[in-house]
Structure 1
Amino acid sequence: MTLYLDHAAASPLRPEAREAFQRASDMGGNASSIHAAGRKAKVMLEDARSDVLSAVGGIGAGLVFTSGGTEANALALWQATGFDYVVVSAGEHDSVYGAVTDAVVAPLTKAGQVDVAALQDLLARDGRPFVAVMLANNETGVINDIASVAEVVHARGGWLHVDSVQALGKMVVDFQALGADSLAISAHKIGGGQGVGALVYDRDRVLKPRTIGGGQELGLRAGTENVPGIAGFAAAIKACQPVCEDVSRAQVQVEAALQVLGVVIVGGDAPRVPGVLCLAQPQWASNLQLIHMDMAGICVSSGSACSSGKVKTSRVVTAMGRPDLADKVLRVSAGWTTQAEDWQRFYDVWSKGYEVYLKRHAKEMA
């Protein structure tokens, strides 16, 4: 039986999201139409907007629905044209790096968090900065102190964008408390459908559209809204619950057992979201670990899923000062379908594979 432990890539569709998607699909109608069906679609769209904003502490903020976290990040970075320079953390998702050129990179600490003191030094230059720092890292699960980052950025008259795609559903995401100017989220990480996301933004900021051609989303994102997908997103975010204590306890126990085998828990010295484990075994390459786990019916990954199916060296682990481990990492990520016993099954399969690998390696070296 397949065991799915790659929720950080995409979480299976929740039944609540499936039902909401089906209901909206059956209703039909374009939210921009003025007839009865269109008005019903518009009501569903705006109800979803309110539900998502409420779930992320964004009452009073603006929200633009997008095709996912990547587009939400791109729309946020589009606002950087009005600032003097851009700073991104070394741990940012590829969608942030790909949305801007000539950005200054703020380093990470060895624990995997953005170095706030170093960031403050980078912002000492003249001009207004646009800064991007994620809430929870997509590879390690490490949580950044966004409130402290916001204080530093705003002291320089800057804009702070926060990629919260991996944080959503795993920890409290409170737009107002974070002090961010914009925040990206995505449906498919929490059991909503793929192809739906949103950018939450401070209404005191003037948001410039990136996709033009129509008046949808208050003129900020042209194109017919995906009402069924958006309805599913709202249903999924309302269905999110804190991680069960027994599941979290099982993860902690497995991490302790792995460390006995010489495994490095990447980011283990920093606060992390529950359900995300980035491990590195210095003797066992990522691609070999993945092959073993896949053959045993366990779905995990070697890092970010947004790399066209490739297994590549981790830029994040390298930025943490461990280039020697960058091609040895494995990411295990739990979600709403995960049970406590799933963590134990993962450990049993992984440790058995490692034992076999060591024996084969010893024979080759003999």
Structure 2
Amino acid sequence: MVTLQNAENALKSVYLGTVTDLLNTRVNPLLSKIEQTSSDVWGKEIRTAAKFGINGGVGAGDEDGDLPAAFGNNYLQFVTTLKNLYGQIEISDKAIRASADGRGAFTDLLNAELEGLLNASKFNLGRMLYGDGTGLLATFAEKSTTDNTIVCDTARNLIEGLAVDVYGANGTKKGTARISYVDRAQKTVTLDGATVTLAAGDKMYVQGSKDKEITGIGALFNGSSIYGVQKSAHPFLNPYTKNVGGAIDEIVMQEAIDALENDAGSTVDFLACSQDAKYSFIEYMSSYKRNIDIMELEGGFKTLSYNGLPLVYDRFVPDGSMYLLNTKAFKLHQLCDWRFLETENGKILRQNQGKPTYTATLVKYCDLICQKPNGQAVLTGITR
């Protein structure tokens, strides 16, 4: 007979390992290539030493002359706080009782809930990977014809059902609402109800997440500092950027790859692009009657290939952009892998106050750090 205790045991002993593996390797092709480690975690912070330049203790000299002076490596300390990532599943008491006499029905119930969690995680983890840590989804450009519909600068981070916080242009929180519809062609979003007064210049963030998300790829290219260090004081923190201002071609891509290798000693092993950049690349290859190779990545992802390198389309890459990355320079530092939150008596299923439902919460404390920011590149302004 299936009971609440059986559900707890199944979630802990059977489902946790599977879900952890899927969250780490199957939700995003970039995440599957990044090493995950518990090193350099100190309390609630991550502190790691990033090496730049080379050891200076080399040189030529006379047969009986002085040896070169010894100089050590150059290091810069990166510091960031562990970010708190959560995922929840909810099971009703009625659903548990309805499946009490059938293990198959109960298994289907848990599978459905966990599949929903994985789909939500695929969206949010992918978005955070290419974000800048602020959690910004979009900025409102202008009002539409109704009180709860407004035009955004981008729709790539928006999806129906997402709960969002709306902040005014002055940085004050105006309220929380839920997205009911996204017109991606027109870049408009409709919020459920008109409880929040919308205005041009307002910004949208995932509920409760403003400035609390992991330090994604976008943070390398935006802002004046990274990992607590000012970019102006340390030029090696500045990655390679180039505005293409037109269609993509192999010369532009290879120039960026060569620049990273020659100037930063960085070897590109992963390319990520927006939809329009992908189409621009395909049209370029087609114009020369050249075949486009397809390759399979770890995690079962299939993608385009450029000179043996994976060229991955990701909806969260900014429009008209292509990232050229050395994934070996990234590490996801974590206090622990995904775990269920437990009460003092070890319970993971908790009744929601005043409701006949139970909730289990997965948690992970981590942040993403790039040891070689100048070993990464972005091409912008790509058009078809």
Q: TM-score normalized by structure 1?
A: 0.25
Larger relative helix fraction: 1
Query: Higher strand fraction: Structure 1 or Structure 2?
Result: 2
